[in-house]
Structure 1
Amino acid sequence: CTAGEVATYLLNGDLDRARQAAGTYREIFGRDNFFLELQDHGLEEQRRINPELLKLSEELSIPAVATNDVHYVNQEDAAIQDILLCIQTGKMVNDTNRLRFHSDQLYLKSAREMAAVFPELPEVLARTVEIAERCQVSLSFGQYHLPAYPVPEGHTPASYLRELCYAGLRRRYGEPEQAVIDRLEYELRVIEAMGYPSYFLIVWDLVRFARENGILVGPGRGSAAGSLVAYCLGITNIDPLRYGLLFERFLNPERVSLPDIDTDFCYELREKVIEYVFQRYGADRVAQIATFGTLAARAAIRDVGRVLGLPYGDVDRVARLVPSEPHMTVARALEASPDLFELYESDLTVKRLLDIAARLEGVPRHASTHAAGIVIAPEPLTRFVPLHRVADGTVATQFTKEAVEELGLLKMDLLGLRTLTVIGETLKIIRRLHEVEINIDSLPLDDPPTYALLCRGETAGVFQLESSGMRNLLRELKPSTFEDLVALVALYRPGPLGSGMVEDFIRRKHGKTPVVYPHPLLEPILKETYGVILYQEQVMQIAVRMAGYSMGEADTLRKAMGKKIRELLLPHRERFVARCVERGSER
């Protein structure tokens, strides 16, 4: 590359400093590990310095190697890559003062094409094979690389987790019934068998640090609320036994996968928790996780239009003809929108705009960091994933969270929630003005004035209840119990809202429609939701009760239903029906 140090000195005619730099790098990397790079993309600068590089190679006994920059796969992609470069740098193609590559040769060339570029230097080409054979990258899948939590002397992670859990059990339940102890023992056995005690200790430690430093922590999010271990550790503040939450929904003993505990922290103080993670486990073992913004159909059209210098109004008119549906593409839009197709066929400028936008769909537009995800490794992260520095100096993985998880690394979501910040500030104001100390975790859940306020839909600023649609639903449903609020949040989703389930639920609650159950065996499971199957936990309980599924099997059914995985659902249908018939149900 002409921007390299040795090449730059040669371009400037400074042979002595080029010689010195090459010698220094040879000493740093080792005589057999440093090469002088030759390239020929048809650029005058390269043709000037290649002979000088060969002389330097012979003089210093540093082997030369031929390479080719690869910015795109095929030569015909050069123009598209130039437009993408303009998008990324905020320029237009006609700008004279912009970053551009003055060559269409930056593609993945074949051995024959490279031989045509360097016909007199077969030994320089052969070294590419020599280097490639020395490069061995092995990515291991199917095993987990979890950091070890530093436990007190005399403890293993499992024994320390057990000690903390039983201390929390007494704190939560006083003298617990045997059924509660049995549930805790069951969860601990599963966690120990899967090798996850350290994971729970790491999450417990973060929550402990936050609470001890006055950082508000959310009561629990997602399936982790189904774990009694998490409740006893104080990771969550929701009693899974009281609300019938299932541990297997969180950690399936029949399907080995990393647990996933998402934790909410005060938005303004979340960074302190992340700083603590870096201090606790080492800056070389912790990083934030990359995310890549890709170009969707409408965004691609607008970006390409700007880069080509087309009038904004014309480009906006074309973009608006693309249906605003998930996973929409230019090709699908041309099929779905007759007006767009007519423009495409009749206007050459629009045709060019859409053809280029279609080539750029799905291409990463920029890299940034995941809003909440961090990764913690047992060894320096560079042994597992490539890292990079983003614009603000933060170190992040070059892999997305999905790839990080596939490699078996511990990913944690530490979310910043503004609602917690508002609650924290409110408590401070109350303390200052009224000298009253309020424990947010001990507020009653059956306060009549609160339910009266909810029934009036006066919930502006209330987390998850503040939208106009949700306020209308509150006025219609008129919640009278905490369970009604749980149902309300579950109902306010695209599926239930468009299926008539919401209206049916409200009519049943107010006695306007009789509550009926699909089968008498389901009454204990569906009574709380007036005979409506509303929660994924209910799906699991139905599979266990009706078809004799184990909880682990029921969780795989739940996952297949939730993600609409047809190839997994069809075998379950046959199995479910057959087992129900075996247990006495009519087909």
Structure 2
Amino acid sequence: AAIRDVGRVMGMPYNQVDAVAKLIPNDFHITIDAAIKKSSRLRAAMEDNTEVKRLIDTARRVEGMPRNTSTHAAGVVITHDPVSSYVPLATNDGLVVTQYIMTTLEELGLLKMDFLGLRTLTVIDDASKASGVDINKIPIDDQRVYKIFATGQTEGIFQFESGGMKQMLMNLKPTSLEDLIAATSLYRPGPASQIDTFVHNSNNPGDIKYDTPMLEPILKNTYGCMVYQEQVMQIFRSLAGYSFGRADVVRRAMSKKKHDVMERERTAFVDGCAKNNISSSVANAIFDKMTDFASYAFNKSHAACYALVAYRCAYLKVYHTSRFMAALLSSVLDNSNKVARYIAECKRVGIRLAPPDINSSMKGFTAASDKVINYGMLGIKGVGNDFIEDIIKERQNGNFSSLKDFCERMQGTRFNRRAVESLIRCGALDNLGANRKQMLQVLPILLSSIEERYRKTMYGQVGLFDLGNEKATDQIKLPQVDEFSKNELLQMEKEITGLYLSGHPMDKFDAYIESSGCVRTYDILEAGKSGARLKDSAKVSLCGIINHITVKQTRSNKANMAFVTLEDLYGSVEVILFPNVYTRFASQIIQGNVITVSGTVSVEEDKEPKILVNSVSLPKEMPTVKPQKKKRTGLFLKFSSHNDKALDGVKKILASHKGSLPLYFYFEDTKKYELAPKDNFVAQSETLIFELRALLGDGNVALII
């Protein structure tokens, strides 16, 4: 952070500062001085470039200084008298906050509580009420629920959505809440090093080893691995005879790396262990393990709460899928990437998202049936909460039958023309007997007539002849015009709702994306996280539609560079074209164009990952591995030829997944499918598909059932 801030002030090019910052090893609490000692590449950069040396030297001087003030996300200080009588206060973004950090508050003896508000609790509450389920009475040993964890189908499940976590779950294959508690505790920077051991021991109990038999009852449920802070405390108590209070004091000292306290306790721990016939060498080894681990250890009580919330999400997803997904979508209406990703998940599990409908949509997303979710009207720009409430109330008198009927009945409510235009443009009035172009053209005339009549009625100006004649609005006819083009309709939906509702411009490129090995936007957005498929500087290709372009001049040579937002079926990411690249491909960087970019992933702390683009191309249709002439079912794998180097690796994977599913090999050089012998048929599983795609690429593996 110090290097990036100093580089920005010095006016150095973004990519140069980014390259230097990434030479800092990604170690916990590393300093710039330690990084220089550890990284020969960083030392070389400083020696070869005086500007880089000046950058690093300046960053050293500001390193460790307060950069900005921030508010603890969930911390609340509770005092007997007004808080200002104990500590100085300030405001931060309109919130009253203490000027002291949490550790100082604790040292002063004040009570700080963390009240964590989880969006997921609202999702569970909404989905369970819509399903008529008492969520507190569901069984917690349902193996159908654990199966979606074991197969990595955890999209939308609290704490278990990331790619790395899904992979861990597929390896672990949890069958109990205890396994989920361990998984949510292990999948973090510190304990993550134990994941492989934990998974191995869970599948091979005979390989578990304990430094002393006294550790077995403490570590048995976690397969010989230290996972929780409670285990650290229990080891102190059981092996060395500590009291509850003293064990907790030591645990806190370990977690805060208070070396002087820990070294004093080492002697006491070793002496206590000696009374239980545990040698000093074993006692010291155990103490070292606890010291290394304690700063990362999780409270099991905390992890248990998280695991239970995740299990309840999974239960609702398994047994009340459409209602759960509707509640989930309603909870992320302000996050277009999340909405797009969950809509894709709905599609995967066979649920259709119906466009908004004035006669059936509610405020949020709602399940119309087990297979259909209605779009929520709160997601429509320009349509306010009050107007939506009026619409829902009025349709209790019967469905709206036409645009005229809707406008007449809503006149006098919190009605406005802009809101009606938004409803038309996103398709919410499509079922009222007219196309969108007809409704938008007739709307001004219709509203003028209704408003005039309403005004006359309000002020008693309706004449004798008006009462006997047909309403003026009945004389207004719809213009005879054709509907907007498909692309125009999609663009209107995107503008009004942030989504493509009646289709997606990227639908026709899906086969190309699968075949070409392009990544998806969610792969980019997860890049750099623990266990993620992509790391920083990974080389990738991404195909998407251009939604936004910002062109800026660089400070150094005033050349143009571009920041482009690319969207696919699952979300959107920013890609950056530096001047030399933008100059070459500027003709293709046009709003609405579908392009494929190739480049490297750039991961920065506290920012969403981006792609630094090297080249741009226009996507073209490519053959897929799916058989077209005969509707064969089975697992289809594509290779360049019979000499493809990947064949040996594939055979090893297939050998451990024997079953009854037909297996086909497609060879590009001969353009032929070959059915494997029946002895080589496989068992269908998510793990098998994941392993094969990791080796061959997504576009070379197709499961048709």
TM-score by length of 2: 0.37
TM-score by length of 1: 0.43
Query: Of the two structures, which has the highest relative contact order with CA contacts closer than 8 Å and spacing of 6 or more?
Result: 1
